[in-house]
Amino acid sequence: MKKVFIETYGCQMNQSDSEIVGAIVEKNGYELTTELEDADIIFVNTCSIRENAEQRVKNRLSQFENLKKKKPNLKVGVLGCMAERLKDDLFKENKSVDIIVGPDSYRDIPSLLDEVENGQKAASVLLSKEETYSEIIPVRLGSNGVSAFISIMRGCENFCSYCVVPFTRGKERSRDYRTILNEAKDLFEKGYREITLLGQNVNSYRWEEEGKTTNFAQLMEMIAKISPLLRVRFSTSHPKDISEELIKTIASYDNICNYIHLPVQSGSNRMLEKMNRKYTREDYMNKIEMIKKYIPDCSISTDIITGFCSETLEDHNDTLSMMEWVGYDYAFMFNYSQRPNTIAAKKFEDDIPAEEKTRRLEEIIVIQRELSHKSNIKDIGKEFEVLIEGKSKRSEDKLFGRTSQNKVVIFDKEDFKIGDYIKVKIKECTSATLIGEKVN
Ligand code: SAM
Ligand code: SF4
Q: Which has the closest alpha carbon to 363: 295, 289, 311, 285?
A: 311
Q: Which has the closest alpha carbon to 343: 198, 217, 161?
A: 161
**Which amino acid type is present at position 300?**
I
Q: Residue 151: beta bridge partners?
A: 198
pTM over 0.85: yes
CB of 265 shorter than 6 A to ligand 1? yes
Polymer length of the chain = 440
- Three-class DSSP labels, 104-124: CCHHHHHHHHHHHCCCCCEEE
Q: Residue 48 — left, alpha, or beta (φ > 0 → left; ψ -120 to 50 → alpha)?
A: alpha
What is the distance in A from the centroid of ligand 1 to the CA of 371?
22
Residue 225's pLDDT is 98
CA distance 62 to 379: 47
What is the distance in A from the centroid of ligand 2 to the CA of 318?
21
**Which protein residue's CA is at the shortest distance from atom 7 of ligand 1?**
200
Residue 74's pLDDT is 96
Pocket test for ligand 2, best of 173, 200, 342 (most atoms within 8 A of CB): 200
CB of 203 shorter than 6 A to ligand 1? no
Low-confidence ranges of the chain (pLDDT < 50): none
What is the distance in A from the centroid of ligand 1 to the CA of 292?
25
Cβ atoms of 81 and 169 closer than 8 Å: yes
**Which amino acid type is present at position 145?**
G
Pocket test for ligand 1, best of 305, 308, 330, 347 (most atoms within 8 A of CB): 305
CB atoms within 10 A of CB 127: 17
CB of 233 shorter than 6 A to ligand 1? no
Residue 440's pLDDT is 83
Nearest ligand by distance to the CA of 341: 1
CB of 280 shorter than 6 A to ligand 2? no
Q: Which has the closest alpha carbon to 269: 328, 312, 326?
A: 312
- Backbone phi and psi for residue 57, each to the nearest 5 degrees, phi listed first: -65, -40
Residue 118's pLDDT is 86
Pocket test for ligand 2, best of 84, 165, 201 (most atoms within 8 A of CB): 165
CA distance 149 to 51: 26
